[in-house]
Amino acid sequence: MMIKIIKYIVKYNKTALTSLLLIFLSVSLSLLYSCGANIFSTSDDIQLGRQLDGEIKANQREYPMLQGHEEIKSYVNNLGRYILNNSPKIEYKNVFPYTFQVINDTIVNAFCTPGGFIYVYTGLMKFIDNESTLVSIMGHEIAHAERRHMTQRLTSYYGVSFVLSLVLGNNPNAYAEIAANLFVGLGFLANSRSDEEEADDYSIRYLATTDYYPGAIKFFFDKIVEKQRREGTTPGSIDRLLATHPLPKDRIDNVRTQLVQLKITSDPMKGSNTERYNEIKSQLP
């Protein structure tokens, strides 16, 4: 909304008032940054996400997209669509061009870029044990898109001068520039602890109206902690996961607290679909 106001002023006011208003808005933007605000629009999220999607697909060495295996890709996509179609709490389901794609790598991870471009690693699918856990992780990534965490962080990272150059038309390649910086140098801006907790909370809420146990993400946490305990260190396969999705104990405790507060009493095995999941796992390359 703020960007639209600035563009309107620039387009229709060519007087000294324009300068005064821009100064006022610059100060306002600075204050907004300190409050964790997001001055990017949802269309900005979409444009940036598409730019990043192109960067990802162009770098097959770093992000080897799964080739063939249509059943696996369809399975992941259908799970993502199921969450979107069965949760009334997903605000941008008809705004963002949600996509659910599979990266063929041993890394245990999943991530989301602005606008709902979600990527799941085959390493993650091999690591976990059932369908409800995968669905809960995908719900977590949807929450990152819905809560617009990345463009919130970009708002703080780039500062007022960059944003003004964007809306004033002085930097026509801004989205490509941001995407390139994210892709090469910033590691997609690792999520903060508060972002992670918020994404966990919303994942639970999204799944509350589905055929899956809403708290299934805790099974993922338990498996990570057990693997660290058993091996005495953080396994290399989950290094990237923990770099972008920190897992302090209070995040694990938060999930348990949320389940109590939301009075989630459904069977923890609800929607595990272990037999079907193991069949899909057996087909992973």
Q: What is the pLDDT of residue 9?
A: 45
Kindly provide the b/e burial profile for residues 168-202, where b requires at least 16 CB atoms within 10 angstroms of the residue's own CB.
Answer: eeebeebbeebbeebbeeeebbebeeebbbbbbbb
Q: List the chain domain ranges.
A: 1-37, 43-148+188-283
Q: What is the pLDDT of residue 222?
A: 92
Q: What is the pLDDT of residue 163?
A: 59
pLDDT in tens, the chain (285 residues): 545 554 554 455 545 444 544 454 445 544 554 456 777 889 989 998 998 899 899 989 989 999 999 999 999 999 999 999 999 999 999 999 999 999 999 999 999 999 999 999 999 999 999 999 999 999 999 999 999 998 888 877 666 556 556 555 555 566 666 666 666 544 555 778 889 999 999 999 999 999 999 999 999 999 998 888 887 766 667 777 777 777 778 888 999 999 999 999 999 999 999 999 999 999 999
Cβ burial, residue 90 (10 Å; 0-12/13-18/19+): buried
Distance, CA of 165 to CA of 183 (rounded, Å): 21
Q: What is the pLDDT of residue 242?
A: 77
Q: What is the pLDDT of residue 203?
A: 98
In whole angstroms, what separates CA 111 from the centre of its chain? 5
Residues in Cβ contact with 178 at an 8 Å cutoff, skipping those fewer than 6 apart = 48, 51, 154, 158
Q: What is the pLDDT of residue 17?
A: 46
Residues in Cβ contact with 171 at an 8 Å cutoff, skipping those fewer than 6 apart = 162, 165, 177
Q: What is the pLDDT of residue 230?
A: 85
Residue 65 DSSP class: B
